[in-house]
Amino acid sequence: MPSRRDFLKTSAAVGGSVLVGAGAPGLLAAAAPAPARAPMRILVLGGTGFIGPHLVKHAVARGHKVTIFTRGRSDDSMLPAEVERLVGDRNGQLSALEGKKWDAVFDDSATNPDWVRQSAALLKGNVAQYSFTSSTGVYYPYLKKGLDESTPPLLEGDQKDGSAAFGTAKAQCEKIVLDTFGEGGIVVRPSYIAGPGDTTDRFPYWPVRLPRGGEVLVPGKREDTAQFIDVRDLAEFMVKLVEDKRSGPFNVAAPRDPITIRAFVEEAARALDAKVTFTQVDDYDFLTENKIFSMVPWVLPTGNNFGHTAISNARAKAAGLGFRPIATTVRDTLAWWPTLPEARRNAPRFALSAEQETTVLAAWRARKGS
């Protein structure tokens, strides 16, 4: 596996951002944004996970006064010193929020409708806007392509299906927010979130795999679509929505225009100057037999996932969603990866290990008779 020095050298060579110190994993240097026209008092429920640090840092950089509410168990040293820290628990221990007022709240840590119900009830009248971080998972099952905000999310589903259980829980949370806050309610529905600070090993597979070079398995048909959103584009859009006093749901997915999985991996490889050859494994039955159902930002487009990576982002684009180049997301993820603990880097939960990829490619060649 490449060393930390190799990773940082590769990133620097291709123009990735510079890491802001070892004490701030997941946050990369960026140009300071212009100050907001009207600074706001902002509460973030959470703030130390994946989205939270990017959201908090951007809001502070815009000139907003930020308070976070957490259990106090996670390292928050990556956040600006001026951020106010409140300690409590979403599971009913909300006393630290009582008697305080904010202009807007970002609910960035809930899938449990009871948590949202409690915080929404407590903050109603003390907060003008409530922004809830949901997911495109509310549309599951994705039975058609181009799903947009006019499609009502499903509030009930098969709870034995993990995707349905997650989607319906998020949908119920959304309903609580919109019913409670009306025009002050905002819902963002991100696709797969990518970039520095990723708490999963889904998207990082590609920035780590491609520099190894050689034959690379590309799943699906060449025309299969791919979707994700850079965490920084998501965070900046979330702040923009409250600044602009928007309301309602917004699908947040990149890139700006539809892209295929083949185009994605080719662009990522160019960004990293990776010396690779691509083998397109385009037989869905073969992929299923080998238990390859997703390699984010691609998902096997069959059955309930037919339109999973073809969600409409038109409303968000109209509201000002910005898009970093794919190359930037890939490079910055590669630059960030070496800051993670060695144990995670040595045993990542990637869609394919090097050994599995070799085995599947050999089986594919045998299937094709070559």
Cβ atoms of residues 61 and 38 within 8 Å = no
Per-residue pLDDT of 51-82, as tens digits, reads: 999 999 999 999 999 999 999 888 888 899 99
pTM for the predicted model, two decimal places: 0.92
Question: Is the pLDDT reported for residue 291 higher than 50?
Answer: yes
Q: How confident is the model at residue 158 (pLDDT cuts 50, 70, 90)?
A: confident
More confident site: 183 or 159: 183
Contact residues for 168 (Cβ-Cβ < 8 A; gap 6+):
138, 154, 155, 156, 157, 159
pLDDT of 30: 61
pLDDT of 75: 84
Q: How confident is the model at residue 27 (pLDDT cuts 50, 70, 90)?
A: low
Contact residues for 167 (Cβ-Cβ < 8 A; gap 6+):
135, 137, 138, 139, 140, 153, 154, 157
Per-residue pLDDT of 245-287, as tens digits, reads: 999 999 999 999 999 999 999 999 999 999 999 999 999 999 9
Question: Is the pLDDT reported for residue 5 higher than 60?
Answer: no
Question: Of the ranges 18-27, 113-122, 199-208, 220-229, which one carries the lowest mean pLDDT score?
Answer: 18-27
Contact residues for 54 (Cβ-Cβ < 8 A; gap 6+):
26, 27, 195, 197, 231, 232, 234, 235
More confident site: 136 or 25: 136
* Percent of residues, the chain, with pLDDT higher than 70: 92
Q: How confident is the model at residue 32 (pLDDT cuts 50, 70, 90)?
A: confident
pLDDT of 29: 52
Question: Is the pLDDT reported for residue 325 higher than 90?
Answer: yes
Q: How far is CA 77 from the centre of its chain?
A: 22
Cβ atoms of residues 187 and 250 within 8 Å = yes
Q: How confident is the model at residue 297 (pLDDT cuts 50, 70, 90)?
A: very high
Per-residue pLDDT of 125-151, as tens digits, reads: 999 999 999 999 999 999 999 999 999
pLDDT of 16: 42
Tell me the fold of 4-368.
Rossmann fold (3.40.50)
Question: Is the pLDDT reported for residue 17 higher than 90?
Answer: no
